[in-house]
């Protein structure tokens, strides 16, 4: 089936959708994005993603091409048109196509580019990997200093995933000044005793929407949460390790740099948080 995608006001077959070669997303990675998961044909944490998008746009002085309500409508329309039950909606906004290449931002009358498409992922909730966990390597975090803005500058995270693959692993956790910042496309956690530990929010990491929801649910379930940075050594000797993201929810990490975490088996806290997050998300999805 040909996918229907959205480009600048139009729903089009993916084969007919076009963006200019002068688009600043293409030339300068001058764009922001969001990925929202779909469960039971409904959007998970949409409000959180819409708010973060607004923040990313503001931080970069980029115009919003649509209101949050309009974006919700487009998300829903695409989910319906593509018959998505479980999957993802990708949204990207760039500073538009001024018709030439110039480092300076274009004039205010250049409209931003808005693109959305769906990815069908049956089995997103019932992902068998959640039962076995994943293996990560550590790599130096050499990204720019505003990781709190969700930009499309994703080359280093891609390189990190390739380094992980080359090492026979699934993902990379990035390390700066001796402490883990985050995964290539996820937030990183360890568990010590009953305490869930994850790096505090700053410009060093993306403020994960799944992170916010999972920490709130953990606190509501009387679990202890400590927001602070941790080292790879500490993670290797932790009782559990896991990550969160909109596309993987809560995912156990069972090996770090070749060292098994807690005997190389997913732990009960990650499993419980995954269950709570998916159950609660289903209830309030839009």
Residue 209 interacting with ligand PLP (CB under 6 A): yes
Half-sphere exposure of 230 (CA within 13 A, CB side): 23
Task: Name the segment binding ligand PLP (CB under 6 A); options: 11-19, 134-142, 219-227, 239-247.
Answer: 239-247
Q: Give the number of other CB atoms < 10 A from CB of residue 8.
A: 15
Residue 208 interacting with ligand PLP (CB under 6 A): yes
Tokens encoding 13? 């077959």
Residue 245 interacting with ligand PLP (CB under 6 A): yes
Shortest approach of ligand PLP to residue 250 CB, angstroms?
A: 10
The alpha carbons of the chain give a radius of gyration, in whole angstroms, of 19
Task: Name the segment binding ligand PLP (CB under 6 A); options: 103-111, 116-124, 178-186, 220-228.
Answer: 178-186
Shortest approach of ligand PLP to residue 15 CB, angstroms?
A: 27
Task: Name the segment binding ligand PLP (CB under 6 A); options: 9-17, 121-129, 205-213, 267-275.
Answer: 205-213
Catalytic-residue membership of 150: yes
Residue 210 interacting with ligand PLP (CB under 6 A): yes
Residue 75 interacting with ligand PLP (CB under 6 A): no
Please identify which residue in 88, 93, 164, 206 interacts with ligand PLP, judged by CB under 6 A: 206
Task: Name the segment binding ligand PLP (CB under 6 A); options: 66-74, 189-197, 238-246, 250-258.
Answer: 238-246
Q: Give the number of other CB atoms < 10 A from CB of residue 7.
A: 17
Shortest approach of ligand PLP to residue 60 CB, angstroms?
A: 16
Shortest approach of ligand PLP to residue 70 CB, angstroms?
A: 21
Cβ nearer to ligand PLP, comparing 187 with 236 = 187
Shortest approach of ligand PLP to residue 107 CB, angstroms?
A: 31
Contacts with ligand PLP in 30-49 (CB under 6 A)?
Answer: 35
Q: Which of 246, 19, 274, 237 is nearest to 133 (CA)?
A: 274
Separation in Å, CA 118 to CA 18, 153, 237? 16, 20, 39
The residues carrying an active-site annotation are 150
Point out which residues bind ligand PLP (CB under 6 A).
35, 182, 185-187, 206, 208-211, 244-246
């Amino acid at each position: 089936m040909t996918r229907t995608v959205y480009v600048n006001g139009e729903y089009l077959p993916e084969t007919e959708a076009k963006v200019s070669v002068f688009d600043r997303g293409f030339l300068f990675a001058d764009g922001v994005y969001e990925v929202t998961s779909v469960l039971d044909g409904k959007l998970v944490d949409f409000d959180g993603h819409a708010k973060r998008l607004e923040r990313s746009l503001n931080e970069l002085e980029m115009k919003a091409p649509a209101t949050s309500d309009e974006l919700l409508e487009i998300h829903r329309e695409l989910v319906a048109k593509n018959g998505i039950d479980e999957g993802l909606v990708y949204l990207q906004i760039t500073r538009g196509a001024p018709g030439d290449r110039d480092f300076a931002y274009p004039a205010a009358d250049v409209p931003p580019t808005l693109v959305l498409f769906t990815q069908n992922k049956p089995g997103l909730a019932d992902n068998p990997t959640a039962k076995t966990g994943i293996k990560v390597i550590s790599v130096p975090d050499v990204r720019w200093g505003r990781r709190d803005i969700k930009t499309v500058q994703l080359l280093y995270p891609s390189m990190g995933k390739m380094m992980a693959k080359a090492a026979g692993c699934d993902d990379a956790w990035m390390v700066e000044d001796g402490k883990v910042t985050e995964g290539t496309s996820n937030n990183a956690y360890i568990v010590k005793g009953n305490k869930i530990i994850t790096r505090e929010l700053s410009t060093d990491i993306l403020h994960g929407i799944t992170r916010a929801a999972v920490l709130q649910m953990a606190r509501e379930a009387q679990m202890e949460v400590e927001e602070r940075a941790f080292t790879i050594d500490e993670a290797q000797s932790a009782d559990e390790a896991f990550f969160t993201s909109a596309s993987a929810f809560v995912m156990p990490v069972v090996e770090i740099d070749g060292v098994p975490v807690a005997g190389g088996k997913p732990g009960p806290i990650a499993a419980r948080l995954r269950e709570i997050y998916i159950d609660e998300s289903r209830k309030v999805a839009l």
